[in-house]
Each structure stands twice: as C-alpha cells, then as structure tokens.
Amino acid sequence: MLPDGAALEILSLSGIPPFNQDLENDIPTNVKEFKSKIMGANAILIATPEYNLSVAGVVNNAIDWASRQYGVDSFNGKPVAIVSASIGMLRGARDQYHLRQMFVFLSMYPVIAPEVIVTFAKDMFDANDKLVDENTKTS
C-alpha cells in the first residue's frame, strides 16, 4: 500500500542487545548499522504490538539505542508514523500514545492522524501477511 515513489526498508530488531549506558561510547556494530539506517531515512514507520498496555520492550530498547550518544540522536527532526495490530479490540492504542510521548522528547514529528490500529488482526491478513480486509484498507 506504499504510495508511488516511496520505498520501505524493514529493519529487524533481532540481535540488538539490551541497552547498556556503560557501552554508550563503544556501540556494538549492529547498533551502529541500525542507527545509520535511521539517520539516512527520510521518515520512520514503526509497526509494533502493545504489551502490558504500553510499548513493547524490544521496541523501547531499539529506541533507547538509536537515540543515544548525546549529540548523535538518529531520530532528531524525523517524521514518524506508527501502526499497530492486535488480536484483540483496543490493543495498540495505548502503546501509540506512549510512543508519541517519547517522540516529542526525541524532537521527532509524529503523524497524529490517521491512527492505524488494526484490531482482530488474525482475520485481516492472509497467510503471507498481506492485508486482505477491504474495510481496513480504506478506513
């Protein structure tokens, strides 16, 4: 569903170690690569589930790494949008709210509308993770 002329690169959070401020001046190679890709992006799209009524730990950890070393914040000035999907009814709304709070602190420009929260996601996607629900596509 990308607009013409747009490209999307999906970055995996797999292998990013837990943030440790003691390592902030000796950043692991995979974290440097992650930060570099964010810095080179025109905009950020975060696709995330909601855990415990807030931001998923792995997402928060990646944000911590990418925003660190003071003066080398990968997110500064970037527009950012969020999408959430859940097997339940409202899961995703609260993590988006908490992420938006973080983005303001990180000097990002969150897209506030439309909110993209796909509820009952197991019925909205096919076996290849393609969105097939027409109402969800147009809402």
Residue 125 pLDDT: 81
Contact 136, 125 (CB under 8 A): no
Q: What is the pLDDT of residues 122-137, one digit of tens each?
A: 777 888 878 787 777 7
DSSP structure class, residue 12: P
pTM of the model as a whole = 0.82
* Tokens of residue 65, six digits: 């790494």
Domains defined for the chain, CATH in brackets: 29-138 (3.40.50.360)
Q: What is the pLDDT of residues 67-118, one digit of tens each?
A: 987 777 788 899 999 888 777 776 677 888 899 999 999 999 988 777 777 7
Distance CA 118, CA 124 (A): 8
